[in-house]
Chains A and B, each alone.
Chain A
Amino acid sequence: MRSIAALLVGLSLSVPASAQTTIFTTNDFRQDRDRWTDPAYYENNTVGQLRGMGIDFDSGGRGSGQEATARAYGSKGTGRVGALNLASPYPYTSAWEHYEAWRKDARGGTKHTKNTIPDWRGRWSGGPVGLNGGPNPASSVAAMLTPQYREYFVQEVKAAAEGRIWGAGSFCLPGGFFASLEAEEFIVTPDKVWTLAAGNGENYIRWIYTDGSGHTPKESEFVKWHGESIGFWDRDALIIHTNQIRGWKGGLSESTDNLETVERYRRVRDMIEGEITLYDPDVFVRPVHAKMRFELDAETRPELRPLYNTCTDTNGPSTKVFMDDRGMLNQRLPGDPLYWNAADPRPWRTYLAESDKRHERYRKAEGR
């Protein structure tokens, strides 16, 4: 499929060679920097469509789950520039400025009691809408990223389209902050809100302090998978500021330890509607914004209640500790095969660098 796509492009002689280069035909994507923000470079594909090519099969949208989104490698996309505005509509330059402005608007926030606190009981399905770029072509995502992260993004979506995929869940690593946004339950009390979710390989919990106690002192700050969240109520709307979020993959591309966010949620009948604004100046050329949407789930069968899950149940055990050739318990160290470097801030970089090398060797050996 890939060689056919390359052949068809090669036969199209009426267009200058430089203009023909796409993410599917390039020999070195790093030489194409000037094209990374051009929808044609991605054949107008969205990020979701590029990722669907990892399966390299045209299901025509039939089936469900990954099969429904599977696409043939190199096929044309349906991205529409401007279909979704990824940039924040707000004038703020930092999350804290944003949060404080909203708190000022709310005159310090609404003090709820058990009798007045909004009722968000139930099980919900949802999360961010289009935070991966949605219906926009991948070029729209690239345009929101600083040069370094733009390169990381193109490397990652190119590899994903070729079936060379780094996924935190695949390696039993935490999903991180962005996965935690897909809450299934909101436990709302006057001084604290919890959000809970049961992923298939991991459970997610956030603690949101609305008691006015604020963040931990600066000298005690450290990055955490889901960050640290404080909030206040503006009548029936919950506003949240989160900082100390461990840099990871997710959202528009990936994030650094400097990511801070502001969220706003409000229940409207059987929906919880909201929004999130992302501030991470190392990654984004301007703050990123997305809607949040949760629908009340009508499913109440006892056998489908949320579960406590651990990825290693069918994907483990951990590769850090292992049984060695002597039959003894042992531990992998730097340089050992399958060693996991817990201090590597971007393990997908390590994976993709090795994947790029192996794939290039494979392509040459196969004459592709």
Chain B
Amino acid sequence: MTSMTSLKVTGLLTGAMALAVVSPAMSHHSHAMFDHSKEISVSGTVTEFAFRNPHVLLYLEIKGENGEPVRYEIEMSNISNTISRGIRPATFKPGDVVNAKVHPLKDGRPGGNYVTIVAADGKTYD
């Protein structure tokens, strides 16, 4: 299994997420646990892609600081918003190598809130 890690702060590049809310999409939970002042790059190999509500979740295997495998969870939006970004259930498959930009968890554990992602075919979803 190919995996690589890149955890680097790229600054305050929040970007404008052109994300169309199609339904009322009542907010599921606050994003207070994510550090929105940071945007980091996470590269790794897809292990699972849960195309489900209330949040679509992408799991990667990345390399930790000492080269050990680490499971990284990327929390995405709900299904409607995810579809509106062009992401479909088959967009990410186990074994795909992807690169994502996320707002990381404030406490440093391996998880973050999705900002953009480059899929295995090179296409960028933002």
Residues of A within 8 A of B (CB): 51, 54-57, 59, 62-67, 70, 123, 125-127, 160, 163, 165, 167, 169-170, 175, 179, 182, 184, 197-201, 297, 299, 303-304, 306-307, 309-311, 313-315
| Beyond A64-B16, A314-B55, 20 extra complex contacts between A and B, CB < 8 Å | A51-B30, A54-B32, A55-B32, A59-B14, A66-B30, A67-B14, A163-B30, A165-B30, A170-B28, A170-B30, A182-B24, A184-B23, A200-B55, A201-B28, A299-B22, A304-B80, A310-B53, A314-B50, A314-B56, A315-B28
Chain A residues lying within 8 Å of B28, measured Cβ to Cβ, are 167, 169-170, 199-201, 311, 315
Given A59-B14, A182-B24, answer yes or no on A314-B57 (Cβ-Cβ < 8 Å): yes
Residue in A closest to B79 when the chains form the complex, CB atoms: A307
Complex Cα gap A66–B80 (Å): 16
Residues of B within 8 A of A (CB): 14-19, 21-37, 50, 52-57, 77-81, 83-84
Is there contact, CB below 8 Å, between B31 and A55?
yes
Chain B residues lying within 8 Å of A123, measured Cβ to Cβ, are 23
Is there contact, CB below 8 Å, between B23 and A66?
no
Q: Which of A54, A199, A306 contacts B26 (CB 8 A)?
A: A199
Is there contact, CB below 8 Å, between A313 and B53?
yes
Complex Cα gap A165–B34 (Å): 13
Q: Which of A63, A165, A169, A197 contacts B54 (CB 8 A)?
A: A169
Is there contact, CB below 8 Å, between B36 and A70?
yes
Interface centre among B30, B35, B77 (most CB of A within 10 A): B30
Chain B residues lying within 8 Å of A160, measured Cβ to Cβ, are 30
Chain A residues lying within 8 Å of B29, measured Cβ to Cβ, are 165, 167, 169-170, 315
Is there contact, CB below 8 Å, between A200 and B14?
no
Pairs A-B, 3 closest by C-beta atoms: A57-B36, A201-B54, A200-B54
Is there contact, CB below 8 Å, between B54 and A311?
yes
Chain A residues lying within 8 Å of B53, measured Cβ to Cβ, are 200-201, 307, 309-310, 313-314
Chain A residues lying within 8 Å of B79, measured Cβ to Cβ, are 200, 307
Interface centre among A62, A63, A67 (most CB of B within 10 A): A67
Q: List 15 A-B contacts (CB under 8 A).
A: A64-B17, A65-B77, A67-B14, A67-B31, A70-B36, A125-B24, A163-B30, A163-B32, A170-B28, A182-B24, A199-B28, A200-B54, A304-B83, A310-B53, A314-B56
Say how far B60's CB is from chain A's closest CB, in angstroms. Answer: 16
Say how far B73's CB is from chain A's closest CB, in angstroms. Answer: 10
Complex Cα gap A297–B79 (Å): 18
Given A66-B30, A200-B25, answer yes or no on A309-B19 (Cβ-Cβ < 8 Å): no
